[in-house]
Every structure is written in structure tokens, then in C-alpha cells.
Amino acid sequence: METPTHPSSAAQPLVSLRNVGKRFANGTLALQGMSLDIGEHDFISFLGPSGCGKSTALRLIAGLTRISSGDIHWPQAQSGQARGDRDLGFVFQEPTLMPWAKVFDNVWLPLKLSGTSRDAAAPVVEQALEMVGLSRFADVYPRELSGGMKMRVSIARALVTRPRLLLMDEPFAALDEMTRIKLNNDLLSIWREHRFSIVFVTHSVYESVYLSNRIVVMAARPSRVIDEIRIDEPYPRGEAFRTSSRYNEHCTAVSQSLHGALHGLDIDH
Ligand SMILES: Nc1ncnc2c1ncn2[C@@H]1O[C@H](COP(=O)(O)OP(=O)(O)OP(=O)(O)O)[C@@H](O)[C@H]1O
């Protein structure tokens, strides 16, 4: 069994957020004062009630939305370069696949956009499909796949550029419980083998405790971080962990913190 895989405190973070805030043009303050270091091989969940700014924080890290205040820094990026495009992949709640294109071509897309031919991309696309267990489905159209399989394609597409950071916005929220558990387990295996970092948005205390080594608890009105909880439990995590008393204790602690978030109270850990 492995010990928890946490970045060493001496290592430079992959991404560093300092006092990050976002106010939209209509005046909504969607996030304020968020500071966070995302380390190498971290699995961080953003957990909180609807409207607390989880998706906004993810989009700010991805550079899809511009920050209004504070700073987001990639300390390991070469000077003069904010971040390499290949440093992150994004998985949305909906798989957002092109319905007219086969699975292979959907996964090839990010490489195609950066100028890699279909032939040159083939080995990498095949590898990405293998990672998510879909090698045999390269030649089918998305409509022929189940919801869980479509999400696997979406994950393969996000990983095909070998990003160091994978951002996931409630990726499994629309899936049934069994599919969700299977995808949780498969995501953990891929993350452990390939050692990238993940920031994962979820509403589920159970999912965040099962997956993450760090949980960032957020509150709404105003949207902000109120707590960070470490889940110092070894990986791999499987059914034994999911049914353990320690898992239950972590879930209770995280629920209490979230309860504080819902009532605007900070809980001391
Ligand atoms: N483009 C936008 N323009 C104006 N307000 C926005 C925009 N996007 C988000 N907001 C507002 O910012 C706040 C935070 O939204 P965000 O989507 O980040 O929350 P969330 O925690 O991800 O919520 P949910 O869990 O419901 O997805 C909300 O009040 C939302 O209405």
C-alpha cells in the first residue's frame, strides 16, 4: 500500500493563486480572496453550495475567464510564458463531443488544433483511449456510447496532450451511482499512474473524501474559501476505504465544515 502522495512542501507549486477575485460585468461578485497552491500530483476538490464560485475558480485557473483582482501564477512555467497550452486539460459536466465525428477524431481534436496530423497523432490518441478503457471504440460515433463512455472519451480528449493539470467541473454529476463509482475508481488509477494534478469540482462530500488528498470548502454570499481539509489516507483507495469508519469520520468532518459554509460560519479544524 502506498503512503499518501502529497507534494513536498519544498517543491514549487504547479499553480499559485493569491487573493484571486472575480466580479462579473453585471456586478456579481463570484469569488473573492482565494489563495491556493496547487502542488504536483495533488488531487484537490472544490466543494460548496451552488453559486459559491467553484466553476468560476476553475475557469479562472484555466484562463477561460479573466481575473478581476489578485494573481494566478504558474511558478514552473518558463519565464515570459504564462503557461504552456499543454499544461492543462478541461473536462466539463457534459462530455461536449462532436456528434458527427468518431471517437478517435474527438480525442484527436486538441492535437489537430495545434497542428498535429491524424497519422502523427494516432499513437497518442490510441494511448489516451487505452487509458480510459475505450481502445475498442475508436471507430464508433458518440451516439453509440453510454453516458459513462462519453465521459471517458471526454477525459481521453483532455489527457491526450499530456497536461500536468486536469480541471474537472462536476464531471460525473449526471451519471448513475454505479457508473459514477466505476469512473471514480478509474480516474484514481489513471491519476496515480500518470501523476498529473487534478482540481475537481463536486457537490458531493462522499465523492470529495473518496477521491481527494485536499478539499477546499467554499461558501456563498460572498463566494469564498472557508476551509481546507486534508484527507491523509493512503492510495489506492477502494471499497475497503469507502466502507471504513475512517471514511465516515472524514465525511462527517467535511459535512460539518460545509454546514458551517451554508450558515456563514467558519469551523475551526
Ligand atoms: N458569466 C457570468 N456572469 C454573471 N454572473 C455569473 C457568471 N457566471 C457565474 N456567475 C455568478 O457567479 C456566482 C458563482 O457562480 P459559479 O458558477 O462559479 O458557482 P458554482 O459554485 O460553480 O455553482 P454551481 O455549483 O451551481 O455550479 C453565481 O452567483 C453565478 O450566478
Tens-place pLDDT, residues 198-254: 999 999 999 999 999 999 999 988 888 999 999 999 999 999 999 999 999 999 999
Look-up of cell digits 489516451: 128
Percent of the chain as helix, strand, coil, to the nearest 5: 40, 20, 40
Give distance in angstroms: CA of 56 to centre of ligand 1: 6
Atom of ligand 1 nearest to the CA of 22: 12
Q: For position 3, what pLDDT does the model report?
A: 46
Q: What is the mean pLDDT of residues 63-92?
A: 81
Share of the chain above pLDDT 90, in %: 81
Give distance in angstroms: CA of 221 to centre of ligand 1: 11
CB 54 less than 6 A from any atom of ligand 1 = yes
Asked whether 216 and 47 are in contact (CB, 8 A), the reply is yes
Q: For position 23, what pLDDT does the model report?
A: 96
What's the CA gap between 233 and 151, in Å, rounded?
27
Tens-place pLDDT, residues 117-138: 999 999 999 999 999 999 999 9
Share of the chain above pLDDT 70, in %: 90
Half-sphere exposure of 11 (CA within 13 A, CB side): 12
Asked whether 102 and 108 are in contact (CB, 8 A), the reply is no
Q: What is the mean pLDDT of residues 58-73?
A: 95
Atom of ligand 1 nearest to the CA of 28: 5
Lowest mean pLDDT among 3-7, 31-35, 65-69, 207-211: 3-7
Q: For position 81, what pLDDT does the model report?
A: 54
Q: Which among 6, 50, 37 has a CA at the least distance from the CA of 170?
A: 50
Beta strands in 85-223 (DSSP E): 88-91, 165-169, 197-202, 214-219
What's the CA gap between 220 and 207, in Å, rounded?
20
Ligand 1 atom 28 nearest Cα: 51
Q: Is 68 helix (H, G, I), strand (E, B) or coil?
A: coil
Give distance in angstroms: CA of 174 to centre of ligand 1: 19
Q: Which among 233, 236, 226, 235 has a CA at the least distance from the CA of 256?
A: 226
Cβ–Cβ contacts within 10 Å for residue 70, how many?
A: 17
Pick the CATH number of 15-97+164-262 from 3.40.50.2300, 3.40.50.300, 3.40.50.800, 3.90.1170.50: 3.40.50.300
CB 34 less than 6 A from any atom of ligand 1 = no
Give distance in angstroms: CA of 175 to centre of ligand 1: 22
CB 27 less than 6 A from any atom of ligand 1 = no
Give domain limits for the chain. 15-97+164-262
Q: Is the pLDDT of residue 111 over 70?
A: yes
Q: Is 117 helix (H, G, I), strand (E, B) or coil?
A: coil
Q: For position 232, what pLDDT does the model report?
A: 96
The values of phi and psi at residue 202, to 5°, are: -150, 155
Strand order in the sheet with 88-91: 88-91, 165-169, 197-202, 43-47, 214-219, 224-230
User: Which DSSP state fits 84?
Assistant: -
Q: Is the pLDDT of residue 30 over 90?
A: yes
Tens-place pLDDT, residues 152-211: 999 999 999 999 999 999 999 999 999 999 999 999 999 999 999 999 999 999 999 999
What's the CA gap between 258 and 269, in Å, rounded?
12
